[in-house]
Chains A and B, each alone.
Chain A
Amino acid sequence: MRLLALLVIPLVAAVAAYLHHGAGFRNAWLLAAAAAHLTLVGSLWVVPGPPVFGDWLALDALGLIILTVVTILFAVVALYAVGYLRTEAPRGGRAFVTCLLAFLTFTSLVTLSHHLALLWVGMEATTLTLAPLVFHRHDRRSLEAVWKYLVLSSVGIALALLGTFFLAAAQVDGRPLLIGDLVMSAGTMQPSLLRAAFVFLLVGFGTKMGLAPLHAWKPDTYGEAPSLVSALMAGALTSCAFLGLARIAQVMSAAGQAAFMQPLLLAFGLFSLVVAAAFMIGQTDLKRLLAYSSVEHMGLLVLGLGLGGSGTYGTVLHVLNNGLTKGLMFLTVGNVVLVTGTAHVPSMRGVLRRAPLSGALLLAGLFAVTGSPPFGPFVSEFTILGAAIGQGHPWLGAVLVVLLAVIFIGMARPILDVLYGEPGAVGSGPPAGGLRLAGPLVLVLLVLVLGVYLPSHLRVALARAAVSLGGVVP
C-alpha cells in the first residue's frame, strides 16, 4: 500500500495544484506532498513494503537507495521552489508546480517498477514533465535548450524501448520482463538477442544519463533551465536513468555476459571523463561547468559498474553522493546567480563578500563535487579508484587519477574566481532568504555525514544493492 501511496500522493497533489489559482495553496500542496513522500520513504527504511500488482511494483535495495536520493532532493527543491517563485516573476506558476509534482510521481514509478516496460513508461514520462520547466523563461536560448533536450532524449529513450522489446524476445522462461524472473531465468536467455538488448538499452539510458558522446543536450539544458530544475535533472533524473541501466546490468551479469558488458561500460565511462575534463577547461558559464561535472560523475558511475567487484559498491554509494552533491551545487549556484544576475564567470566577482553564506556553500560544494575529503564523494570515488587498481587495471587507475586532477583544476579555477576578488558593479540582487538557503545547508550536512559515517541500515542496503549487481562489498 505504501508503495502505491508514493505514486498517488504526488499525483493527487499535482492535479490539486493545477486546479488552485492561489499561489499559497499551490505551495502548500507542493510542500505537503514532498513532506508526505519523504516520511513514507523514511518508513520504508524501517519496515519494508510488500510488492503490489503481482511484483510489478516492488522496492529492492537499489531502488530504495535511488528513491531516497529522489525524495530528499525533491523535498529540498520544493522548499527552494517556494522561495524561488517568490523572487522570479512567476510565469505560469501553476504549470510549474504541477510539472514538479508530476515529475516526483514518475521518478517514483521508475524506482519502484520491477517490470521493465513499465520502467520505460515512467522514464519517458519524466523526460516530458521536465520539458515545460526547462522552457520556463520562454526566451530564445531556453527554446533552443528545450528542443535539443526533447529531441535527443526522446530518440535515446525510443532506442531504450527497442532494447526492452529485444529483451522480451531474448527471454524464454518466466513472466515477461519482470526483473526478478529475468535474473532467475537469465541462464536460459538467447545470448545474441540479450546482447542486442543491452546495446540498445545502454545507448538509450546512456543518452538520458548524459554519457559522452551522448551528452550533447546536457550543457545547454542545464545551463538554460532554472537552477532548481537543473538540480532535479542532475541529481534525480540521471539517477533514475542509471537505475534503468543497472537493471539490465543485473540481467547481464546473471546471464554470465559480464565479459561483453564490462568493456563497453568502461569505454563509455572513460570517454565521459575525458570529454568532461576537456570541456571544463576554459568554461565561462558556471551552470554549463556543472553540466560537464555531471557528465564526469555519470562516467564514474558506469566506470565503477564496468569494473565490477568492489567497483560496483563504489558506484552504488556514488549514486547517493552524486545526487545530493549535484543538488547542493545547482541550488547554491542558483542562489549566487540570483545575487549577481548572471552565470557568466568573468562578470561574477567577490561572491564570498557579497553573499557570505552562499559563497561558503559554493566553496564547500566545490570540494564535495571534486571528490575531496571529508565529503561523501571522496569515499565513493576512492572506492572506484581502488577497484580499478586492485582488480588488475593499474593503467586505468593512473589515467583516472590524472583526469580527476585535471577536472579538479578545471572546476576550482572558475569557482575560486567567482568567490574572491572585488565585487563588480553588475547585478545587485538581495542575498538568498531562508527558504532558498535551507536546502543547500541540509544537503551539505548530509554529504559531509556520508563522508565520515555510514549508518548501519544504509550499509546493509548498499551491500545488498552491490551484490544484486554482481559486485562485492570491499
Chain B
Amino acid sequence: MMDFSGLLLLLVVFTDFWVLGTTRMSSVIRAAAIQGAILAALPLALHPGLSLHMVGLAIGTFAIKALLLPAFLHRAIREASVRREVEPVIGFTASLCIGAVAVALSFAVAQRLPLPEAQTALLVPVALATVIVGLIVLTTRSKALTQVVGYLILENGIYVFGLTQAERVPFLVEIGVLLDVFVGVFIMGIVVFHINREFDSLSSAKLTELKD
C-alpha cells in the first residue's frame, strides 16, 4: 500500500506540471480534474483500514474536486468561447522552471520539518510543491478562469498536507472545508462569467479602474 500512495503522490506532482506547461484552458481544467480524482484516492491508499471517515472523505473529494467543479469550469469556458491562455505574464518554459525549483525547495524544506510519522515522507513535500504551483498559476496567468484553477490547485496542496492530520481532524470539519472550497470556486466562476460579459474577455488584466 505504501508504494501505491507514493505513486499517487508522484502523479499529483505530474498534474502540477501539466497545469504549468499547458496553453489550452480545457486541458488545464482536465489536469485539475485528474488531480482531484487522485486526491480522492489518496486517503484510501494512506489508511488501508477502509474506515467510514476515509471513505466519506474520498467520496466527497471525488464528487466536488473531480466531477462538479471541473464540469462547472468547462461550462464556463464553453459559454465564454475562450480556448487558450494567450498572454501569460511569465512564459510557460519559465513557469515550468520555477515549478521545478519549487519542487526541489519543497523536498529540502520538508526534510527539515520535524513531522513524526514515516508515512508522510512524500506527503509533505508534494503538498508544499502543489501549494507553490497553485500560487504561481494564480499570480502569473492573466485569464481569470486559469486563476480560479490556480486557487483550486493551491487548495489541493493544502488538502494533501491536511492528510497528514486526517485522523486528528474530524470528518464534519473536512466536509465543511470541502463545501467552502466548492462554494468559493462556484462564486468565483460566476464572477468570471460576469467579467466575460462585461469586458468581452476572460482576462482579469482588464480590471484596472480602481486604484489610488
Contact = CB atoms under 8 A, between A and B. Distances in A.
Contacts of B184: 124, 127-128, 150, 154
A118 B174 CA distance: 9
Nearest to A122: B176
A168 B194 contact: no
Interface string B197-210: 01100001001111
B202 to A, nearest CB: 12
B195 interface: yes
A125 B180 contact: yes
B113 A193 contact: yes
A407 to B, nearest CB: 16
A148 interface: yes
A192 interface: yes
Interface string B132-146: 000100100000100
B177 A154 contact: no
Interface residues of A, number: 46
B151 A147 contact: no
Interface in A109-123: 115, 117-118, 120-121
Contact of B165 (A147, A165, A219): A165
B180 A124 contact: yes
Interface string A129-166: 00110010010110111111011001100100110011
Give the dominant DSSP class at A's interface.
helix
A158 B151 contact: yes
Given A158-B151, A177-B168, A147 B177 contact: no
Interface residues of B, number: 38
B13 interface: no
For B155, B177, B180, B204, which residue has the most chain A Cβ atoms within 10 angstroms? B180
A381 interface: no
Give the dominant DSSP class at B's interface.
helix
B42 to A, nearest CB: 15
Contacts of A326: none
A144 B207 contact: yes
A117 B169 contact: yes
B151 A192 contact: no
A177 B151 contact: no
A115 B151 CA distance: 25
Contact of B187 (A115, A150, A193, A220): A150
Contacts of B209: 140-141, 144
Given A151-B151, A177-B169, A193-B114, A143 B138 contact: no
Contacts of B135: 155
A131 B165 CA distance: 31
For A154, A192, A288, which residue has the most chain B Cβ atoms within 10 angstroms? A154
B5 interface: no
Given A117-B177, A220-B210, A151 B188 contact: yes
Contact of B195 (A143, A165, A224): A143
Contacts of B162: 161, 165
A120 B188 CA distance: 19
List the 7 shortest-distance A-B pairs measured between CB atoms, nearest first: A121-B176, A176-B168, A144-B207, A124-B180, A220-B210, A168-B165, A117-B173
11 contacts: A117-B176, A124-B180, A143-B194, A144-B207, A145-B210, A158-B154, A161-B162, A165-B169, A279-B212, A283-B212, A288-B212
Interface of B: 113-115, 131, 135, 138, 144, 147, 151, 154-155, 158, 161-162, 164-165, 168-170, 173, 176-177, 180, 183-184, 187-188, 191, 194-195, 198-199, 204, 207-210, 212
Given A117-B170, A135-B194, 11 more contacts: A121-B173, A125-B183, A151-B147, A168-B168, A171-B168, A176-B168, A190-B114, A193-B115, A219-B210, A223-B210, A279-B212
